[in-house]
Chain A
Amino acid sequence: MAAAVTRFFLRGAGSKVPNTGVSTRGHSSFGATLLKLSPSCNVRTKTQRRHAAHFTFQPDPVPTQYGPTQKMNLFQSITSALDNTLANDPTAVIFGEDVAFGGVFRCTVGLRDKYGKDRVFNTPLCEQGIVGFGIGVAVAGATAVAEIQFADYIFPAFDQIVNEAAKYRYRSGNLFDCGGLTIRAPWGCVGHGSLYHSQSPEAFFAHCPGVKIVIPRSPVQAKGLLLSCIADKNPCIFFEPKILYRAAVEQVPVEPYTIPLSQAEILQEGSDVTLVAWGTQVHVMREVANMAQEKLGVSCEVIDLQTILPWDTETVCKSVVKTGRLLISHEAPVTGGFAAEISSTVQEECFLNLEAPISRVCGYDTPFPHIFEPFYIPDKWKCFDAIKRMINY
Chain B
Amino acid sequence: MAAVRSMNKIYGLCFHGIRQMVGLKPSKLLQHRAFRVCAVHRQQPFDSSLEKPQFPGASAEFVDHLEFIQPNVISGIPVYRVMDRQGNIINPSEDPKLSKETVLNFYQKMTLLNTMDRILYESQRQGRISFYMTNYGEEGTHIGSAAALDPSDLVFGQYREAGVLMYRGFPLDLFMAQCYASTDDLGKGRQMPVHYGSKDLNFVTISSPLATQLPQGELYTLTSAVYMNIHVPVNIYMYIFLLNVSISAAGAAYAIKRENMNRVVICYFGEGAASEGDAHAGFNFSATLECPLIFFCRNNGYAISTPTNEQYRGDGIAARGPGYGMLSIRVDGNDVFAVYNATKEARRRAVAENQPFLIEAMTYRIGHHSTSDDSSAYRSVDEVNYWDKQDHPISRLRHYMLAHSWWSEDDERSWRKQSRKMVMEAFEKAEKRLKPSPELLFTDVYQELSPSLNKQRESMWRHLQQYKEHYQLDLYDK
Which residues of A does B touch, CB under 8 Å? 90-91, 93, 100-101, 116-118, 121-124, 126, 128-129, 132-142, 144, 156, 159-160, 163-164, 167-177, 179, 209-210, 212, 233-234, 262, 310, 313-314
CB of B191 within 8 A of CB of A171, answer yes
- Give min CB distance, B363 to chain A, whole Å: 26
- Give min CB distance, A154 to chain B, whole Å: 15
Residue of A nearest to B247 (CB): A132
CB of B250 within 8 A of CB of A133, answer yes
Complex CA gap A128/B24 in Å reads 32
CB of A140 within 8 A of CB of B154, answer yes
CB of B38 within 8 A of CB of A133, answer no
CB of B15 within 8 A of CB of A136, answer no
CB of B57 within 8 A of chain A?
no
- Give min CB distance, B434 to chain A, whole Å: 16
- Give min CB distance, A168 to chain B, whole Å: 8
CB of B11 within 8 A of chain A?
yes
State whether A118 and B37 are in contact (beta carbons under 8 Å apart), knowing that A90-B24, A136-B251, A169-B445 are contacts in the complex: yes
Which residues of B does A touch, CB under 8 Å? 11, 14-15, 18-19, 22, 24, 35, 37-38, 40, 42, 154, 185-188, 190-191, 195, 197-199, 204-205, 207, 209, 244, 246-256, 258-259, 265, 277-278, 280-282, 284-285, 288-289, 443-448, 450-453
CB of B278 within 8 A of CB of A175, answer no
Q: Which of A137, A142, A156, A167 contacts B207 (CB 8 A)?
A: A167
Q: List the B side residues contacting A209 at CB < 8 Å.
A: 445, 453
CB of B452 within 8 A of CB of A136, answer no
Complex CA gap A5/B249 in Å reads 28
17 contacts between A and B (CB under 8 A): A90-B18, A93-B258, A132-B244, A132-B246, A133-B248, A136-B248, A136-B253, A136-B265, A140-B251, A140-B255, A159-B244, A160-B278, A163-B209, A169-B447, A171-B205, A177-B447, A262-B450
State whether A179 and B248 are in contact (beta carbons under 8 Å apart), knowing that A93-B258, A123-B288, A310-B453 are contacts in the complex: no
Q: List the B side residues contacting A179 at CB < 8 Å.
A: 447
CB of B22 within 8 A of CB of A116, answer no
Q: Which of B199, B277, B445 contacts A170 (CB 8 A)?
A: B445
Which A-B residue pairs are the 6 nearest by beta carbons? A136-B251, A129-B281, A132-B247, A172-B205, A140-B255, A136-B248
Q: List the A side residues contacting B15 at CB < 8 Å.
A: 116, 118
CB of A123 within 8 A of CB of B285, answer yes
CB of A135 within 8 A of CB of B251, answer yes
CB of A310 within 8 A of CB of B451, answer yes
Complex CA gap A138/B252 in Å reads 7
CB of B452 within 8 A of CB of A310, answer yes
CB of B444 within 8 A of CB of A169, answer yes
- Give min CB distance, B324 to chain A, whole Å: 10
CB of A122 within 8 A of CB of B38, answer yes
State whether A121 and B285 are in contact (beta carbons under 8 Å apart), knowing that A136-B251, A164-B209 are contacts in the complex: no
Q: List the A side residues contacting B444 at CB < 8 Å.
A: 169-170, 173-174
Complex CA gap A234/B450 in Å reads 12
State whether A171 and B251 are in contact (beta carbons under 8 Å apart), knowing that A123-B289, A126-B281, A313-B451 are contacts in the complex: no
Residue of A nearest to B286 (CB): A133
CB of A137 within 8 A of CB of B195, answer no
- Give min CB distance, B220 to chain A, whole Å: 14
- Give min CB distance, B357 to chain A, whole Å: 17
CB of B244 within 8 A of CB of A164, answer yes
Q: List the B side residues contacting A171 at CB < 8 Å.
A: 187, 190-191, 195, 205, 207
- Give min CB distance, A359 to chain B, whole Å: 23
Interface centre among B197, B284, B289, by most A CB within 10 Å?
B289
Q: List the B side residues contacting A168 at CB < 8 Å.
A: 205
State whether A134 and B450 are in contact (beta carbons under 8 Å apart), knowing that A101-B42, A173-B444 are contacts in the complex: no
Complex CA gap A139/B289 in Å reads 17
- Give min CB distance, A338 to chain B, whole Å: 14
Q: List the A side residues contacting B249 at CB < 8 Å.
A: 136
- Give min CB distance, A235 to chain B, whole Å: 9
CB of A129 within 8 A of CB of B247, answer yes
- Give min CB distance, B170 to chain A, whole Å: 12
CB of A129 within 8 A of CB of B209, answer no
- Give min CB distance, A45 to chain B, whole Å: 34
Complex CA gap A209/B216 in Å reads 13
CB of A176 within 8 A of CB of B197, answer yes
Q: List the A side residues contacting B258 at CB < 8 Å.
A: 91, 93, 118, 142
CB of A135 within 8 A of CB of B248, answer yes
Q: Which of B198, B207, B256, B284 contacts A175 (CB 8 A)?
A: B198
Complex CA gap A176/B24 in Å reads 22
CB of B255 within 8 A of CB of A136, answer yes
Residue of A nearest to B207 (CB): A171
Complex CA gap A123/B277 in Å reads 16
CB of B187 within 8 A of CB of A233, answer no
- Give min CB distance, A133 to chain B, whole Å: 4
Q: List the B side residues contacting A117 at CB < 8 Å.
A: 11, 37-38
Complex CA gap A118/B452 in Å reads 40
Q: List the B side residues contacting A126 at CB < 8 Å.
A: 280-281, 284-285
Q: List the A side residues contacting B246 at CB < 8 Å.
A: 132
